Amino acid sequence: MVYTAQFLDTEIYPESTILKIDINPFPHGAKQRQSVLICKHDEPVVILCIYVEIDDNGYLLEQCFRDLLLNENKIALLYGQHVHLFDIVSHEVKSLYLHDYVGHLYPVPDITSGVLSSTFLATTFLYTFLINVDSGIIWQSKQCAIDGVIINEIQNNVIYGSGEWDPPGGWEPFCLSLSTGHFINTTE
């Protein structure tokens, strides 16, 4: 792949000459909390500075999970309560608010490929979303958990996952239709 991307776990120094782009969908009350370095042929070209919202009490609306997937044209970044879609060529950003703290990203149909597909799954503490890189959220499932959703596989248009209902460790399996996001019973 021509491009690579990674979250930076060190502070970015202001004197850096690399182009910095803010990803801040908040009109007020936000703080930069994450940075993503994008390289082209292993040379740094862009740093994305990701912001999170600060609530009315001064608390940051974030938690420990973050994830990213990329292909030759776009990067999907999962952080805070958003999926941010960054176009590598035009530098346009589309931020999708998920109304919940984020968990993981999964390419479709091969969740282990590690390459951003045109549609992908994003999970939060409560829900599963099917997202198209160009048009945004296709569907949101009903509640799958209270403290985390993991996708195990996709097979024959069925999403097999687990939701944590009784933390810690109280995981329950579920199945969703890849087409609609509705729960389905696979034992019938």
Q: Is 59 exposed, middle or buried (0-12, 13-18, 19+ CB in 10 A)?
A: exposed
Taking only the tens place, the pLDDT of each residue in 128-138 is 999 999 999 99
Tokens of 73: 């044209």
Q: pTM for the complete prediction? A: 0.92
Report the alpha-carbon distance of residue 162 to residue 171 in Å, rounded.
6
Neighbours of 91 (CB within 10 A): 11
Taking only the tens place, the pLDDT of each residue in 60-114 is 888 889 999 999 999 999 999 999 999 999 999 999 999 999 999 999 999 999 9
Among the listed residues 7, 136, 147, 153, the one whose alpha carbon sits nearest the alpha carbon of residue 66: 7
